[in-house]
Amino acid sequence: MLSRVGMKTKISDRGCRGITLLEVAMVVAFLGVVAMVLLPFLARPRHHGSARIKCANNLKQIGLAYKVFANDNDDKFPFQVSTNTLAYGNITQTWMHFQAMSNECGSARILMCPSDRERLNNICSDFKEGTAATALSLSSKGNAAVSFGASLDGDETLPETILATDRNLKTNQWNLDGRLYLAISGAAPAFWTTNLHNSAGNYALSDGSVQQATSATLASQIHRQGITTNRLLLPFLP
């Protein structure tokens, strides 16, 4: 009887023993390996997806501004009419195309893509000009406060024409005045660079919609525009 009780006590003691230093070291080592594996993923920016959505929303507002402007100007876009800010056919300063739509855009903040880290310090809030302009006016910073390119050939009657696009576009043909040619011939294939949306981008169409596209879907869009060549004026800096 006493022997059995003793045996039970001995077994119970064995089940309640503490964790050894070796076991603690093994757990710590395991957690260290897990941390090393997960750290690169945790360190990646989490706002990439939301930033692209905000960028698309900004382009949506810009596309709407184009539509409203056209409604008030005989179905013509800014580059097709002469305004106080934008001379007819201006092909040198991108920001002037958006300045011409200041009443329709409302805030100059929509001209900046949240992923455009190179220019975020230049965000402008208003469209004041001349003596009324401040450091936060688009006319003060010009292209430095713009993340989007503007079409020189968009057409109100062609709903799939690209009107505005992220500036991270490139082709194998460049023009000194800052024009980028989107040609259906394929002679100058366009593609997105990596500096805004990881080899992708957004663009606004004449029908008022905004598309998120890869280089492949961009190529398909170029062929659906309804025009042979669409010149995009990108906001190059001097």
pLDDT in tens, 2-26: 455 545 545 455 555 567 777 667 7
The rounded percent of the chain whose pLDDT value lies above 90 is: 46
Asked if residues 111 and 124 have their Cβ atoms less than 8 Å apart, the reply is yes
Asked if residues 58 and 113 have their Cβ atoms less than 8 Å apart, the reply is yes
Whether residue 128 has pLDDT greater than 90: yes
Alpha carbon distance 66, 184 (integer Å): 24
Asked if residues 84 and 99 have their Cβ atoms less than 8 Å apart, the reply is no
Alpha carbon distance 211, 165 (integer Å): 10
Q: Which structure tokens are listed for 167? A: 């500036």
pLDDT in tens, 135-166: 999 999 999 999 999 998 888 889 999 999 99
3-class DSSP assignment, residue 206: coil
Look at residues 151, 172, 179, 191 and name the one whose alpha carbon lies nearest to residue 63. Answer: 151
Q: How do strand 148-151 and strand 191-192 relate by DSSP bridges?
A: unpaired
